[in-house]
Amino acid sequence: MPYIQRHTNITDISISHLDSEVLVNGWIRNTRIQSNLAFIEIYDGSTSKSIQAIYEDAKLNELIKPLSIGSSISIKAIVVKHPKEGVELKLKEILYIGKINDPVTYILNAKKMGLDTLRDHQDVRCKTRTFNAVFRIRAGLSQATHNFFHSKGFHHLNPNIITTSDCEGAGEVFTITNMLGKNSSDIPKVDKTDIIDYSRDFFEKQAFLTVSSQLQLELLCAGLGKVWTSNKSFRSEKSKTNRHLAEFEHIEWEFAWANLDDLMNFSEEYTQYCFSYVLKEHSDDLEELNKFTSKGIIDKLKEFISKPYMRITYDTAVKIIEDNAEEIMKQYKLKDLPKWGDDLGSDCEKYIAEIHFKSPTFVYNYPKDLKSFYMKQNNDGKTVQACDLLIPGLGELIGSSVREENYEKLMETVNLRKMDATKLKWYIDLRLNGSTPTAGAGLGFDRLVRICTGMENIRDAVPFPVAYQECRF
């Protein structure tokens, strides 16, 4: 098999390449043989579009007949004009083929496949039209995110994901240990009790997979001004909803001298930048998704960038829920609704953004007892400068807050909540030595991908999802 030193992406082949010889490497989407004339539809992952290769050589038919959807192929061809529009390839030579071992049982040859079926075949779903588009958009959103933060002068730094901090209140944690043997009796205990002796563990203390890089970003921000991360975060919540994962990509940012308005303005600009980027750079992928899997996705994204987002206080959100209680309970089959001081809940968040305002919506100034200890209190003594961005069709996309920079006020909250301050001494001490006002946010990148692709299940926005009772690779 000859080594291909250079090939042409399908996305780059156009009418300007007529009569040029090209090397195309890809996979077969379809084959059709009519007497001595045969057609091969090839895609290469660079675009949602495929290209047709034709040949008039009966000798090649025996080579082509066994090839089914998903087979790999490398060809040398001449670019010619398509009879109707665009271009196609006149095949000169087949350089490589990779057959499907058993086409009869190969899942991609099934006539109908729902997303739930493909979820059980994650090893091949990247070869389907839908996931080809979804994963390209995901890659594009990653590029857009890097572009945006770079343009704003942020430094991209990924803190440690094995940590001794559980980022108080951010979620259930996974413990990291190398003390597990074949028997539970191998685990060292403290003074013949049932308490695990982590002093004999790898780090000589209990360590976790991080639930958030926020605290470390605050530390970095105190000397760099603007920092962000695309770290993985981990939550051990036993939830099987279509919104939750145990491992997820976490876009978090922290910047100094920022207030609540700055937070909302930045989050709005970033998300609208991403929506615009996908509409411009992934129009072919969106059109593919819009045909079948995610009808209306293009109009939805255009609507998101057409106007400023709504902004309401938590008090107003509760009032909306109270005024529309009957409709909400009927719509989401709820028995109870949140009252002031409660978490709004995903159903009520969806109602506010998707039905009431029909727009991405910021909700800010949450009750202090509802949020984490590090959030800056308002003068009313009841609320903190926290803000969530709710998106139609999803619910919460971004959680953010201004951080409390005053040492005495922070310690007052720590003591009221009876927290062990020794575990977070390094974080609290940031307020003692050159205390810097900062604000920051966290966005679940997989949820952003879900919004931009119209996928209803978060597992369809991730190449290899890791969730409660699910870890396949």
Helix (H, G, I), strand (E, B) or coil at 29: strand
Q: Do the domains at 10-110 and 129-173+211-471 have one common CATH topology?
A: no
Best CA proximity match to 42, nearest among 61, 20, 27, 54: 27
Q: Where are the domains of the chain?
A: 10-110, 129-173+211-471
Q: Which CATH architecture has domain 10-110?
A: Beta Barrel (2.40)
φ, ψ dihedrals at 33, nearest 5°: -120, 125
The whole-number pLDDT of residue 208 equals 93
Asked if 312 contacts 366 with a C-beta cutoff of 8 angstroms, the reply is no
The identity of residue 167, as a single letter, is: C
Best CA proximity match to 458, nearest among 197, 304, 241, 286: 241
The whole-number pLDDT of residue 424 equals 87
The whole-number pLDDT of residue 60 equals 72
The whole-number pLDDT of residue 36 equals 77
What residues have CB less than 8 Å from 36, skipping those under 6 apart?
56, 57, 58, 61
The identity of residue 76, as a single letter, is: K
CA neighbours closer than 13 Å in the CB half-sphere of residue 406? 7
The whole-number pLDDT of residue 165 equals 78
Q: At what angle do helices 314-323 and 325-332 cross, to 10 degrees?
A: 80
Using a 10 angstrom Cβ sphere, with 0-12 exposed, 13-18 middle and 19 or more buried, the burial of residue 469 is: exposed
Q: At what angle do helices 260-281 and 129-151 cross, to 10 degrees?
A: 140
Cα 232 from Cα 407, distance rounded (Å): 30
Cα 370 from Cα 18, distance rounded (Å): 64
Most distant CA pair in the chain, distance: 85
Helix (H, G, I), strand (E, B) or coil at 322: helix
Neighbouring-strand partners of residue 386: 401
Helix (H, G, I), strand (E, B) or coil at 201: coil
Q: Would you give per-residue pLDDT tens digits along the chain (473 residues)?
A: 344 446 789 989 999 989 999 999 999 999 888 877 889 999 999 999 999 999 887 777 777 778 889 999 999 999 999 988 899 999 999 999 999 999 888 999 887 788 999 999 999 999 999 999 999 999 999 999 999 999 999 999 999 999 987 665 556 899 999 998 777 778 888 988 889 999 999 999 999 999 999 999 999 999 999 999 999 999 999 988 888 899 999 999 999 999 999 999 999 999 999 999 999 999 999 999 999 999 999 999 999 999 999 999 999 999 999 999 999 999 999 999 999 999 999 999 999 999 999 999 999 999 999 999 999 999 999 999 999 999 999 999 999 999 999 999 999 999 999 998 888 899 999 999 999 999 999 999 999 999 999 999 999 999 999 999 999 88
Could you tell me the two tokens for 289?
A: 């998704």
Total Cβ atoms within 10 A of residue 195: 10
Cα 301 from Cα 385, distance rounded (Å): 29
DSSP 368: G
The CATH fold assigned to 129-173+211-471 is BirA Bifunctional Protein; domain 2 (3.30.930)
Best CA proximity match to 315, nearest among 338, 336, 347: 338
Could you tell me the two tokens for 19?
A: 């009569």
The whole-number pLDDT of residue 167 equals 61
The whole-number pLDDT of residue 37 equals 85
Total Cβ atoms within 10 A of residue 310: 17
Asked if 396 contacts 348 with a C-beta cutoff of 8 angstroms, the reply is no
The whole-number pLDDT of residue 2 equals 41
